[in-house]
Chains A and B, each alone.
Chain A
Amino acid sequence: MKGTVYLNDKTGIVVIGATGREASQVIKESEALYPGIVKAGITPGKGGSTELPVPVFDTLAEAVKDPKVGKLLNTALIYVPPVSVLDAVMECLDNGIKVLYIITEHVPIRDSQIIFQEKERHGAIIVGGTSLGCFVPSVGRIGAIGGKDPSVAFKDGGIVVISKSGGLTVTTAEMFKRRGWGTYMALAIGGDIISNTTYADVLKQIKGDPKVKAVVMLGEPGGAYEEQVADLITSGGFDKPVAAFISGRFQERMPEGVAFGHAGAIVERGMGKATDKISRLEAAGKKFPVKVAFYYHELVKAIESLGVPRDFEDSTAEHVKPLYTTI
């Protein structure tokens, strides 16, 4: 298999909510970039429609029985409105799809919780909600990550970028590409409270993959997912270089009670705040190849100091000159 469990050369995508504005654009773009990666679309009431470059079905049950595409479907890309996401996830799980991406933002937390429980019960992989998708330049793309021309940000290489924020996933890949490191995989895991794929989940999956040279993780305050990375590394569960940036230190200077409830502070005592996450990762960095960047752009320096070899030449000058100046 070429690629990862999240996206590989066997990946066959079925898009749920395929005829919506965003989804149909993504299908067309994907078809232009990696022809054949999307196999089918589902929109109730639009079965048989020819408006997309892939066949459209009313139900996933029909699609998986289809003699042409049915056997090829193994990955779902969910683009339905927030209140319909739980329904879409259940449709996928009950029809045997084992890798799901939830692109939809603002899924109700209660539904996210049920989705997580059902994912565990079915032994599936779900990325999101609020995922932008996944990019493995050597294999293909799931979702809109990188837009119309992903070559601006992505070039094949050895870095794995994992981020809650979709936009930052791309921005980070581009920053590294300019400095000589390419991307093996970029995965936007989304920032939902109940996350179906956490940083630690990903590290466990890619642990033995020889293509992985280093991991760049972008964290945010809230929850315990970044802390779990520190725990995984210190317990010997991942030994490749990890450069991390945790945003949100400034929120700690905001008035009390704005960002976090008390209960969050108790359930996850010593976890959740950006500074907690940073100190946990820094502590891991004393014995293991982990570096936390103070400024986001210092991630490049962090990867450099961890001794991760460049995939190609550094193409950016040390001091960038403005395009225009009026001062």
Chain B
Amino acid sequence: MKLYEHEALGAIFKKYKIPVPRYIFATEMNDAVNQFVEKEPGVVVKSMVLVGKRGKAGAVKVVSDKAKVPDVVRDLATREVYGEKSIGALVEEKLDIEKEFYLSVTYSTKDRAPAIIFSEHGGMDVEEIDPKLIHTHVISDVRSVYPYQIRQFLTGIGFSDKDLLRPLSEVIVNVYHAFVGAECRLLEINPLVVARSGDKRKIVAADAVVILDDDASVNPAVVYGARSAQGRPMTQREQDAILIDQGDHRGKAGSYVELDGDIAMMTFGGGGSTVTAETAIEAGLRIANLTDIGGNPPAEKMYRISRIILSKPGIKGVLVCGGTASNTRIDVTLGEGLAKALDDMNAEGKLDKNLVWVVRRSGPEYVKGLKMLHECFVRNGIRGEIYDSQLPITEAPIRLKELLIKHAGYKPEKIV
């Protein structure tokens, strides 16, 4: 889970003694911001969004004229950055920057070890830095790193600013301890700056990107609140879906994400869901929503998620697709849960009869379950085809595309 910059500063950087600029977070212009700005010769204002490259989108502004601060704060606290709504503004002291470094810690799968990545040429997009100027230090034991090891690494890469050798090595070790202690997947500071302060120089983290391990021993969603992986607030249907699994551990049906398309996807099992969605997109279908159902959920959960999936406006086709389940009962999930949702939605006049369906599923009691679903299709006038595992799983979305073109005049996306 990615943290907002102010969350990273407040919860992690402070605890692990990573030096940061003086700052205040605000959702709107207020007295506290005024008082903060009073004491600063100049400030930097940043939109608090999860998406990267804020600077290029004009969502980071240096303000020297104090009179302009309120307008800038109001703007950046509420604007949309690459389609993501800002949740507030971070107002920071303006640093007198001498140098900008790049620093991050992450897990390297190549080495199957944590790695510290450092460059003396920070500040810009890391992708634009010459790879020869980026240096990686692989940590052989996740549990221990000492500043002397970092100094050996720095001198080894030709780092020549001798005055900074000790303080920089200590900051890097603190950053590493934060990475391990807070159970991060990524901790990135770009830029890590050398700032002048009177006749002294200090190292300050002028940015903070923190992605926590979703599987950390303390669940980050509990600490920071659930957030959509897409860096936007959850939609009402996504929030409703989460409630399905709350307080009922039998199976999982509430993992639901919305996209912009017109094809509803009811898929089962992580790997199977991914390849099915993938194939649908490659085939030119525009996906409206994704659901990953598994672990033999009861009919009630299937009923609720089915209604959520089908209630998204603008849907033209529905794909119900899964491999050969080991545990999940097909009669319960499709024959009872999904079928009852369709019956009820039809009775309420909420079922779109123009939808085109393809179902592909196998597993315990699938003969019975698919027959029940077929009877439901017949009594509700639903159009579609039902397959078992004779049809390879990823041919199902392709079959849906063919039916949509033939029976609904669907125009698939052209994918190159």
- In addition to A110-B180, A256-B51, A324-B374, 11 A-B residue pairs with Cβ atoms within 8 Å of each other are A106-B214, A109-B213, A110-B183, A163-B271, A168-B272, A223-B109, A256-B52, A256-B82, A263-B186, A264-B106, A267-B106
Interface string of A126-169 (1 = CB under 8 A from B): 00000000000000000010111000110000000001111110
A166 touches B324 (CB 8 A): no
Interface string of B102-131 (1 = CB under 8 A from A): 001111111011110100000000110001
Within B188-206, the residues touching A (CB, 8 Å) are 188, 190
Q: Can you list 15 pairs linking A and B with CB atoms under 8 Å apart?
A: A109-B213, A165-B274, A170-B326, A174-B324, A220-B271, A223-B109, A257-B2, A265-B127, A268-B109, A294-B282, A296-B278, A322-B391, A323-B374, A324-B370, A327-B384
Chain A residues, Cβ within 8 Å of B386: 322-325
With A110-B213, A170-B324, A326-B374 known as contacts, the answer to whether A262 contacts B275 (CB < 8 A) is no
Which stretch from A92-100, A204-212, A245-253 is at the chain B interface?
A: A245-253
Is B50 an interface residue, CB under 8 A from the partner?
Answer: yes
A224 touches B110 (CB 8 A): yes
Chain A residues, Cβ within 8 Å of B141: 117
Chain A residues, Cβ within 8 Å of B105: 263
- Cβ-defined partner of B282 (8 Å) among A82, A146, A152, A295: A295
Within A223-257, the residues touching B (CB, 8 Å) are 223-225, 228, 245, 247-250, 253-257
Chain B residues, Cβ within 8 Å of A294: 282
Is B356 an interface residue, CB under 8 A from the partner?
Answer: yes
Which stretch from B237-245, B340-348, B375-383 is at the chain A interface?
A: B375-383
Cα–Cα, bound, A267→B126 (Å): 11
Interface size on B, residues (CB 8 A): 85
Q: Measuring CB to CB, which residues of chain B are less than 8 angstroms from any residue of chain A?
A: 2, 50-53, 82-83, 104-110, 112-115, 117, 126-127, 131, 134, 136, 141-143, 180, 183, 185-186, 188, 190, 209, 211, 213-217, 229-231, 269-272, 274-275, 277-279, 281-282, 323-327, 356, 362-364, 370-371, 374, 377-378, 382-395, 398, 403, 407
Cα–Cα, bound, A300→B391 (Å): 13
B110 touches A165 (CB 8 A): no
A218 touches B271 (CB 8 A): yes
A297 touches B393 (CB 8 A): yes
With A322-B387, A325-B386 known as contacts, the answer to whether A171 contacts B272 (CB < 8 A) is yes
Interface size on A, residues (CB 8 A): 73
With A297-B393, A320-B387, A324-B385 known as contacts, the answer to whether A109 contacts B326 (CB < 8 A) is no
B180 touches A247 (CB 8 A): no
Of the listed residues A113, A178, A218, A271, the one surrounded by the most CB atoms of chain B closer than 10 A to its CB is A113
A113 touches B109 (CB 8 A): no
Chain A residues, Cβ within 8 Å of B211: 261
Chain B residues, Cβ within 8 Å of A265: 126-127
Chain B residues, Cβ within 8 Å of A267: 106, 108, 110, 115, 117, 136
A167 touches B269 (CB 8 A): yes
Chain A residues, Cβ within 8 Å of B282: 249-250, 294-295
B185 touches A193 (CB 8 A): yes
Return A180 CB to nearest CB of chain B, in Å. Answer: 14
A250 touches B281 (CB 8 A): yes
- Cβ-defined partner of A261 (8 Å) among B185, B378, B395: B185
Is A44 an interface residue, CB under 8 A from the partner?
Answer: no
Chain B residues, Cβ within 8 Å of A300: 392
Is A316 an interface residue, CB under 8 A from the partner?
Answer: yes
A225 touches B109 (CB 8 A): yes
Return B218 CB to nearest CB of chain A, in Å. Answer: 9
Chain A residues, Cβ within 8 Å of B230: 254-255, 258
B374 touches A168 (CB 8 A): no
Chain A residues, Cβ within 8 Å of B275: 168, 245, 247, 296
Chain A residues, Cβ within 8 Å of B109: 193-195, 222-225, 268
- Cβ-defined partner of B112 (8 Å) among A194, A249, A261, A325: A194
Within A99-115, the residues touching B (CB, 8 Å) are 106-111, 113-114
